[in-house]
Chain A
Amino acid sequence: MSSRTSSRKVSPGSARTEDRFAGGILTGIVRLVPVVFSVSLAAAAPVDFLRDVRPIFEKHCYECHGGQKQKSGLRFDVKAAALKGGDSGEPCIVPGAAAKSFLIRLVASVDEDERMPSKGPPLSPGEIATLTTWINEGAVWPDGVDTTTLIAKTDWWSLKPLHLPRVSALKPAPRIDEFVAAKRAEKGLAASPRADRRTLIRRLFLVVHGLPPTLLDVEAFVADKDPRAYEKLVDRVLASPRYGEKMAQHWLDVIGWGETHGFEINTPRHTAWPFRDYVIEAFNSDRPYARFILEQLAGDSVAEDRATGFLMAKPALLPGQIGKDQESKDRARQDELNDMVTTTGAAFMGMTLQCARCHDHKFDPVTQADYYSLQAIFAGVRNGERLLHPDNRLSDPQAYQQWSQEQVAATLAVIRHEPVAGSGGLRSEVNGVRNIDRFAPVRTQKVRFSVKEVFKAPATDTRAFLDEFEVYSPAGRNVAREIKGVRLTASPTARAQNLTDGRYGARQGWSTNGKPGWVEIDFGSPQEIEAVVWSRDRSGRLKNQVSIDYQVEVEGADRTWRVVAGSETRATATSAGEKSPAEGSDDTGARAATERLHRNDAKLAAMLDAEMVYAGKFEKPGAIRRLARGDVNLPKEEVPPGAPREIGPPLVLPAASSDPERRAALARWIAQPENPLTGRVLVNRLWQWVFGAGLVATPSDFGHQGAQPTQPELLDWLAQEFSGHGGSVKHVMRLLLLSGTFQQSSHPNADGMALDAGNRLLWRFAPRRVDAEDVRDGMLQLAGTLDLRMGGPGFSVFEPNDSYVRIYKPKESYGAEEWRRMIYMTRIRVAKDSTFGAFDCPDFTQDQAARTRSTTALQALNLFNSPFVMEQAGHLAARVQREAPGPVATQVHHLFRLALHRPPSPQEAAVCTKLALDHGLPAVCRMIFNTNELLFVP
């Protein structure tokens, strides 16, 4: 009889950097705890695990696959782990079948590169025989003999049902304070007194709106004798549309949403902005959270098309930037799917699901199979824009109809001034927007357009495109569109659809696959025609792949084809010129006709955009396979769509389920009350947005690698309140804002600073610098220039540029168009606003669940010297002089009340009055814009 006692504690991170491939550990189990046990060794038996097998493991395997290291995610000191095997996915030990066991294959291998152990001497033939026999006899590994046991990965606070503490019968708002007070008391810290009203209203507005209150707001609140004055104010603030704008900023941070493609090209997604408006509206209307989730994952199923912009949050490579080789294409697709899984996991679940892309999640209960099941949820989604559902369209169909009629009339007028092809002299060179080929009237049933060469920029793409093809009769009709039953035929490798439907834009029409090609239009009966009009992109956005070597033919009665126009009668196209025909003509009639047409053209892009949204394209989902090590070259078994199997109730989805069904099912699975993560994650975000730091400091990571809640009971109570009130965000916001904890003074005291300088125990309201957006918006509001128009396309702070790789050069001066709130500033990835970007504004590439808040000399330079700030200082000075005419001292007084909501101290008044007298009032305004008092939430 022998007995052993062993104990060992291993932290979850112990295996982290040991292995080049950073293999995962195990499904479902993660932490080790010491166990104490005793066993008796059995007497003689065929092969005994303890006597015969474990010593072999100890001698040869433990060094790399034991308690200290788990290379390739494998360990031999714990039964479940050894039986499961490592990251390779190969069955390590198959009881009863040594021949199928990877362990035996590796220890017995004659290939030195393959053989295990990789370090140290190989196993002796006797040892190999022992292992082989043991496995063939059933690999008996008694329970309870291991020196360590593993605790389930699911044994973690955030994955357990809400723990509802006993609470007093107090009303909800003070209940927050009750929790906080209890924690504070453990350290012997007291709450700070209530902040004064001036501070309180300023804090409330800055936190909830991202804008300070106006002087009128402050004065009214300070004077309000109603004991419910603050409560009324909170309700008013939550009802304001400014609330949704600030909340949307937070949410867009959480998902890393931007409006360009990112990477080298970084071209705009003109139709992405409706998603931003959706988020603002959703917060303002207090959309129940379950609905908010559903719409963002599957809004196309519930007539909220814009909302799936959520799935397109991240940068993506465009087809021209992805290598033509299959591996490059596969990897780009994997990255696209990974972005959707990552964003969903982080935003709604606070789970780092992407960690299971290459191997089982090392810390949290997410297997590689789970991860690919989540990819399968999104397998029908591709990057791109789609036509909005008619109910969601922002366009007016009648307006388009009217526009279209004018377009035909204006085009005809231009045709009248166009030279006939081949009538002497060279015609204007080909351009992308519109080309007119006029010829002597001819009667024909078919017209053919064929292309040999396109203008390419970049050279990589040799496809040709037409967005629309019109054929005009001498009577002034576009017969290609008007005749019912016109048939389109394209060369074998080309595609043609909607080429003659009167709807412009590069999103439909005819395209070749890179070779010369043609398209034929068959009217069904002979027609009299005299001109064709064709374009690459009538909206003018896409200027490459224009057909520069082409011809137009008509079919004669004898079925032979005759060329009526082509590039050989045009000036050589050296580039995709943008000039339109008749431009620069001496003929005033021709110029007038052209200008009329241009005026109409200019309206097109916006109308087309109004029908589209960059919110993903949907298709039948393809099969998703698990990829060993996340490598597209190592596909393994196919996985069905699903959710992580060890979190919450199971998500059952038939493999044949459609794309929208999959996404909607995942949304419901996330939102169901039994999901322990969803509510906790959301209320923690709200806490963070209000107090500056979450109860859980890692707001998008509630897993083992994240922080634990500082106030777990409070967090669970809030989550309960949240779901109990139908997932109302405003309800929880109201609780937080009405709490005494929020209303505390921000001034430090000696006890608090000594014991808890980081304010984790909430003994005061910790002051913080406002966000980049708030710096800008607050400046505009103070200067009286803020434009509160909501929604619609964003504004840009960069000079216009349409080069193939976008170049973002900051504007030198700004006008009223740029004075809207910064939430409406087009979110260009990586290129930050040249003044305010430096204030820790995210670059819209990665999720930014919590912004860093740092202080830099560049911030100081920007705020002190930038043209934007100087302009606004001028506007503010003008405002002050307008509102407070009189001596300079009066103006300084008024400025302080407007900006800081208090009068200046005598010293401050003296300093600032002197500054104004010596250097003008704008100098004082510039100074005020830079003060800490203005830039900190008090």
Chain B
Amino acid sequence: MKPPVLSATGRALLDRRTFLQQFGHGAAGIALATLLSRDRALGASAVRPVIDPGRPLAPRVPHFPAKAKRLLMIQCSGGVSHLDSFDWKPELLRMDGKPMPGAKENFITFQGENGNLVRPLYEFKPRGRSGKMLSDLFPRIAEMADDLCFIHSMTAKSNTHGPADCQMNTGFIFDGYPSVGAWASYALGSEADDLPAFVAIPDTRGVPVGGPNDWGNGFLPAVFQGTAFNASQPIYNLAPPRGSSSGTDRAVGDALRFLNDRHLEQYPGDQNLAARISSYELAARMQLSVPEVSDLAKETAATRARYGVDDPDPIKSGFARNCLLARRLLERGVRCIQLYHGAQQMCDLGAVNWDGHRALKAQYDIHGAVFDQPAAALVGDLRERGLLDDTLVVWATEFGRMPTFQKGASGRDHNPDGFTVWMTGAGVKRGFSFGATDDLGYKAVQNITTIYDLHATILHLLGLDHERLTYYHNGIERRLTDVHGHVIKETLS
């Protein structure tokens, strides 16, 4: 006797149309999405996604037609120096070695006292048709200048890694708020049936400075959390347990379905029980689909070489594999990917991430070589495959760095008051630069933007109004953008 996969009752329960008939009038998701009674005065503008507890990741329509269906955020952990990469400040060449004008005698920043101004540590050259000045730190990315949309006037709320990284990933400088990807999958569900809606790809060396908080669900239901894995570290508990054969797994699964179906018959109409049954079906599909998507052997030699998958440097090949994994996930309809370069501090400052306090040039030589080729290959590959038509790519870091060297060191301190991020892909202007820092790159002075603005823009491109995408928590209709944020309309194509 072979037990049925899911009883007719269970099937009917999880049928979307039935669900909408039963719960389609605003009370949907009572069990899942909201604690609120129906009669509570909702803010007139709040729009909560209607979420079917049986299929919480079913695709959902955005607030308005979206330019981007998918989001890829590439983040360099530790605070990349804008002055040595994307923000060309010729004045720093002239002022090299001179004290910071107007600064008090002891110019105190995050770590303490600073020394004198220091010129950009990498050579800047005009790139592309636009002649955009970009440095040799990321030569291949620089070649794409005509495709990128730079925001040179970004500001962060904190000058400390943890809070600033939290803000870039979750909008808040505190732990425990939902990440960008969690908001996106809460709003939009997923296009991928057999894969997580939201994948975080940490560096092979470890998690970024914000830790798993960067892809957490915060107070959103756990189903919207990012699933963390990379090309080296598979999803926890995805593989069958040691010592259990696939035959055993299947037999246990069949018996489980049999028992659960019998149990469900006693609770006709119970969405939560039916949802648990179907979650095992998705889990079983993921056991096939995730190894498949992670299998890079299927890529051509040319593609592998382009990303640097077989580079002798294990750190570079690790990042290259993660970049290739990101493309494969996007191709299969994963809604949001947060891809990280750089890990938490484990030894010397700046050794495993972009926190160049002490020996910035020496460390950035290493990091730049690891990051540039795979990341440029990823963006280029996405474009050639047409994926950038409906995928938004955002490159970010938690803050920039100071135009000075720190006292007694050959590196720059944290600078949250002006730094660079860039976007490319769906709905974004190409070869465009927005905002500016002052002549020394110390503070944003023109078209000052905030991380709230960046997030508002990302949501906008995903077809979401950042002021209307809310979730009630502890007395507040929470948003990714708190009570701030304006879409940076100038950057939209």
Complex Cα gap A12–B109 (Å): 43
Complex Cα gap A705–B475 (Å): 6
Q: Which segment of B206-214, B362-370, B371-379, B440-448 sits at the interface?
A: B206-214
Contact of A857 among B176, B286, B473 (CB under 8 A): B286
In the complex, chain A residues 811-860 whose Cβ is within 8 Å of any chain B Cβ: 829-832, 834-835, 838-840, 843, 845-850, 852-860
Chain A residues near B41 (CB, 8 Å)?
A: 11-13
Contact of B474 among A315, A460, A693, A701 (CB under 8 A): A701
Complex Cα gap A932–B283 (Å): 16
| Shortest beta-carbon distance from B7 to chain A in Å | 12
Knowing A845-B174, A854-B32, A860-B279 are in contact, say whether A835-B160 is a contact too (CB < 8 A): no
Contact of B56 among A701, A753, A840, A854 (CB under 8 A): A854
| Shortest beta-carbon distance from B340 to chain A in Å | 14
Complex Cα gap A166–B177 (Å): 45
Contact (Cβ within 8 A) A931 B256 = yes
Tell me if A323 counts as interface (CB < 8 A to partner B): yes
Contact of B256 among A328, A707, A859, A930 (CB under 8 A): A930
Tell me if A288 counts as interface (CB < 8 A to partner B): no
Contact (Cβ within 8 A) A323 B258 = no
| Shortest beta-carbon distance from A67 to chain B in Å | 14
| Shortest beta-carbon distance from B289 to chain A in Å | 11
Complex Cα gap A128–B287 (Å): 74
Complex Cα gap A698–B210 (Å): 29
Contact (Cβ within 8 A) B112 A460 = yes
Tell me if A867 counts as interface (CB < 8 A to partner B): yes
Knowing A264-B161, A834-B236, A845-B176 are in contact, say whether A860-B108 is a contact too (CB < 8 A): no
Complex Cα gap A574–B78 (Å): 25
Chain B residues near A708 (CB, 8 Å)?
A: 37, 39-40
Complex Cα gap A838–B349 (Å): 33
Closest chain B residue, CB of each to CB of A852 = B221
Knowing A834-B236, A864-B280 are in contact, say whether A927-B259 is a contact too (CB < 8 A): yes
| Shortest beta-carbon distance from B436 to chain A in Å | 20
Q: Which segment of A370-378, A552-560, A589-597, A915-923 sits at the interface?
A: A915-923
Contact (Cβ within 8 A) B346 A747 = no
Contact (Cβ within 8 A) B175 A829 = yes
Tell me if A805 counts as interface (CB < 8 A to partner B): yes
Secondary structure of the B contact surface, majority rule: loop
Contact (Cβ within 8 A) B176 A843 = yes
In the complex, how many residue pairs between chain A and chain B have their CB atoms under 8 Å apart?
311
Contact (Cβ within 8 A) A918 B251 = yes
| Shortest beta-carbon distance from B171 to chain A in Å | 14
Chain A residues near B108 (CB, 8 Å)?
A: 324-325
Complex Cα gap A256–B255 (Å): 39
Q: Which segment of A16-24, A389-397, A725-733, A875-883 sits at the interface?
A: A16-24
Tell me if B241 counts as interface (CB < 8 A to partner A): yes
Contact (Cβ within 8 A) A325 B162 = no
- Chain A CB within 10 Å, residue with most, of B35, B241, B287: B35
Tell me if B133 counts as interface (CB < 8 A to partner A): no
| Shortest beta-carbon distance from B239 to chain A in Å | 7
Contact (Cβ within 8 A) A865 B239 = yes
Knowing A861-B238, A933-B263 are in contact, say whether A870-B162 is a contact too (CB < 8 A): no
**CB-CB contacts of A524-537 with B at 8 A, as 1s and 0s?**
00000000000000
- Chain B CB within 10 Å, residue with most, of A355, A866, A915: A915
Chain B residues near A932 (CB, 8 Å)?
A: 259-260, 263-264, 273, 276-277
Knowing A707-B40, A854-B221 are in contact, say whether A923-B276 is a contact too (CB < 8 A): no
Contact (Cβ within 8 A) B36 A698 = yes
Tell me if B237 counts as interface (CB < 8 A to partner A): yes
Knowing A707-B36, A847-B474 are in contact, say whether A859-B346 is a contact too (CB < 8 A): no
Contact (Cβ within 8 A) A866 B237 = yes
Tell me if A262 counts as interface (CB < 8 A to partner B): yes
Contact (Cβ within 8 A) B175 A263 = yes
Tell me if A265 counts as interface (CB < 8 A to partner B): yes
Contact (Cβ within 8 A) A866 B474 = no
Tell me if B218 counts as interface (CB < 8 A to partner A): yes
Contact (Cβ within 8 A) B44 A11 = yes
Closest chain A residue, CB of each to CB of B243 = A870
Tell me if B30 counts as interface (CB < 8 A to partner A): yes
Chain B residues near A861 (CB, 8 Å)?
A: 235-238, 283, 286-287
Chain A residues near B251 (CB, 8 Å)?
A: 915, 918-919, 923
| Shortest beta-carbon distance from B253 to chain A in Å | 8
Closest chain A residue, CB of each to CB of B30 = A758
Tell me if A703 counts as interface (CB < 8 A to partner B): yes
Contact (Cβ within 8 A) A862 B277 = no
Complex Cα gap A322–B218 (Å): 24
Chain A residues near B158 (CB, 8 Å)?
A: 328
In the complex, chain B residues 273-292 whose Cβ is within 8 Å of any chain A Cβ: 273, 275-277, 279-280, 282-283, 286-287
Contact (Cβ within 8 A) A840 B222 = yes
Closest chain A residue, CB of each to CB of B214 = A830
Tell me if A905 counts as interface (CB < 8 A to partner B): yes
Chain B residues near A897 (CB, 8 Å)?
A: none
Interface residues of A (CB under 8 A from B): 11-14, 16-17, 20-22, 256, 262-266, 315, 317, 321-325, 328, 335, 346, 352, 355, 458-460, 693, 697-698, 700-701, 703, 705-708, 710, 746-748, 753, 757-758, 760, 767-769, 803-805, 807, 810, 829-832, 834-835, 838-840, 843, 845-850, 852-862, 864-867, 870, 905, 907-908, 910-912, 915, 918-920, 923-924, 926-927, 930-933, 935-936
Contacts A/B (CB < 8 Å), 27 sampled? A17-B43, A263-B162, A321-B162, A325-B108, A346-B475, A697-B36, A707-B36, A708-B39, A710-B37, A753-B269, A757-B23, A829-B175, A839-B222, A840-B222, A843-B176, A853-B221, A854-B223, A856-B56, A856-B279, A857-B283, A864-B253, A911-B3, A911-B258, A919-B251, A927-B259, A931-B256, A931-B259
For the complex of A and B, list the 3 residue pairs with the smallest distance between their C-beta atoms, beginning with the closest.
Answer: A845-B176, A263-B162, A352-B475
